[in-house]
Amino acid sequence: MKKSLILLIALLFGFGLVFSSCVTTDTPVKPNNSNFVAPKIELAGFEVPQYDGYWYIAKTVKPTKGEAGDRGAFLPMTFTFKITNPNVYPINLEEIKYSVVFDKSFMVMTTSDQMSNWIPAGMADEVKVTTLVTVRSALACLLVPGSVEMKKRGWENWSTLEKWWKGIPEGTVPVTLAECGFTFTAGDVTMVYPYRVDVQ
């Protein structure tokens, strides 16, 4: 009888655990469009995590190894954001969509980073996103969407690229994060907030 009682208590405890885990995933305040407060987004840092100089090799040049092609130096860029959640419930940072602009006018890339980054209620978190452009991809931007602005400024493509590749790691060329969209979710609520910042 005693053994049975212990077993019964153990089973009830087990049920309790299973159901309590379901219950505790709910937050006391249910997120909705009207109680969702915009998180605070700040740029906490910018770095070029690996620098490989400025170079470009046209496809007419035979490489030592591998295949020839129009290839240029990579310029990786890491942006660190501090996100503060002022809400009384946790929020999930799901996506950061952003464009990188050099010299105030030349949008050299647009991309999106997807993630699942939960930020507890009232807390802050830091999120890093890394992207890169190459001399080749930046050249394509100058030749197509940037061509009108280049003509207006009277700038030349290759000297502009060299200035960027040397100046950005040293902090002498303006870099801007533009047309950003930070997507947050909580429960069934999805909110996207714009962001723009002069990085340097």
Partner 1 sequence: MKKSMFARLGVLFLSVVLLAAFGTVAAAKDIRVGGIMDTTGATSDVGKDYAIGMADAFKYINSQGGVNGKKIKYTWFDYGYRIPEAITKYKMLKRIGAVAIMGWGTGDTEALSPTVNKDKIPYVSASYSAHLTNPAKTPYNLFFSSDYSTNARCCLTAWFDKKWPNHPDFGKRKPRMACCYQFSSPYCSAPINAIKNQAKLLGFEIGPDQDVNLMALDTKSQIMALKAFKPDVVWHGNTVMSVAATIRDAYALGLGAAWIIDNWGFDENLPRLAGEAAEGAMGATPCAFFGQNVKNMDLVVTSAEKYSPGVPLGKRTIHTVQAWGDALVLWEALKRADAAGVDITKKGSGPAIMKKGFETMRNFDIGLGAAPISYTATDHRPATGCRVQEWKGGKFEVVEDVNLKKRWPDLWEKSEKEGGFFGY
**Residues forming the site for partner 1 (CB under 8 A):** 4, 7-8, 11, 14-15, 18, 21-22, 97, 107-112, 114, 133, 137, 140-141, 143-145, 147-148, 151, 178-181, 183, 190, 192-196
Shortest distance, position 137 Cβ to partner 1, whole Å: 5
Closest CA to 140 of 65, 56, 53: 56
Q: How far is the CB of 200 from partner 1 (least distance, A)?
A: 19
- How far is it, in rounded angstroms, from Cα 84 to Cα 82? 7
Burial of 64 (0-12, 13-18, 19+ CB in 10 A): exposed
Q: How far is the CB of 143 from partner 1 (least distance, A)?
A: 4
**Which of 61, 148 has the CB closer to partner 1?**
148
Give the shortest CB-1-to-partner 1 separation in angstroms: 9
Kindly tell me which of 122 and 181 has the beta carbon lying closer to partner 1: 181
Are 78 and 130 spatial neighbours (Cβ–Cβ below 8 Å)?
A: yes
β partners of residue 176: 101, 198
Residue 111: CB minimum distance to partner 1, A: 6
Q: Which is nearer to partner 1, 21 or 64 (CB)?
A: 21
CA atoms within 13 A on the CB side of 174: 10
**Structure tokens belonging to residue 186:** 């909580």
Q: Which are the contacts of 52, defined by CB distance < 8 A and separation ≥ 6? A: 73, 74
Q: What angle do CA 34, 39, 44 make, to 5 degrees?
A: 170
* Nearer to partner 1 (CB atom), residue 32 or residue 111: 111
The DSSP letter of residue 151 is H
Nearest distance, CB of residue 104 and partner 1, angstroms: 16
Q: Which is nearer to partner 1, 78 or 157 (CB)?
A: 157
Residue number, 117 or 183, with CB nearest to partner 1 = 183
